[in-house]
């Protein structure tokens, strides 16, 4: 049986907010180069759109860090499936994530990256679920604060489905 998807954030609202985030990041990094680190797989849709809207020089790298598997809740076990290709020492790093809920994955990732001596490290997420937070992570740029519902679209998936939706939706009927 196919799941039903309810639109939570429209494609137009997502586009508008990414444009606003790109402008703010460009202002904050004026005169600098920002090194974007995308957390795969979900973050790639957001990072590509965000990078197009940042007006300062941008470089990019990718990591695959996971605590989910195919479920709808974090397993609590964080693992690195793909590490960075380049050193980040001395760089102004901006981690780009699709969603932050418990904060465990990002807490772990930021700790690892800080040990690699970047000049600065900040965090940008498309979606934030602060009511689910178990670990304190400072989110510098937030697209949307959302309620504690399981969401898909714009890179977010349910068992590898729905990443390609151009909006953020809630999968109805999941238990």
**CA–CA separation, 47 vs 133, rounded Å?**
23
Distance, CA of 107 to chain centre: 13
The C-alpha angle with vertex 110 and arms to 102 and 117, in degrees rounded to 5, equals 175
Answer yes or no: are the C-beta atoms of 9 and 168 closer than 8 Å: yes
CA distance 160 to 96: 20
Query: Annotated active-site positions, please?
Result: 101
Q: Cα dihedral sign for 157, 39, 138, 46? A: negative
CB 83 within 8 A of CB 113: no
d(CA 89, CA 130): 30
């Amino acid at each position: 049986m196919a799941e039903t998807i309810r639109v939570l954030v429209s494609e137009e609202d997502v586009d508008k907010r990414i444009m606003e985030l790109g402008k703010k990041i460009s202002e904050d990094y004026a005169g600098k180069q920002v090194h974007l680190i995308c957390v795969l797989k979900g973050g790639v849709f957001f990072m590509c759109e965000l990078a197009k809207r940042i007006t300062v020089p941008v470089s990019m790298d990718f990591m695959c860090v996971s605590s989910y598997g195919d479920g709808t809740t974090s397993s609590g076990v964080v693992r690195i499936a793909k590490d960075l290709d380049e050193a980040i020492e001395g760089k102004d790093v901006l981690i780009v994530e699709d969603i932050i809920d418990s904060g465990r994955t990002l807490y772990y990732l930021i700790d690892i990256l800080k040990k690699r001596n970047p000049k600065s490290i900040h965090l940008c997420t498309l979606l934030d679920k602060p009511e689910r937070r178990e670990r304190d992570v400072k989110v510098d740029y937030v697209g949307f604060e959302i309620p504690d519902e399981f969401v898909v679209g714009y890179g977010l998936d349910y068992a590898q489905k729905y990443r390609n939706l151009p909006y953020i939706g809630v999968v109805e009927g999941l238990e």
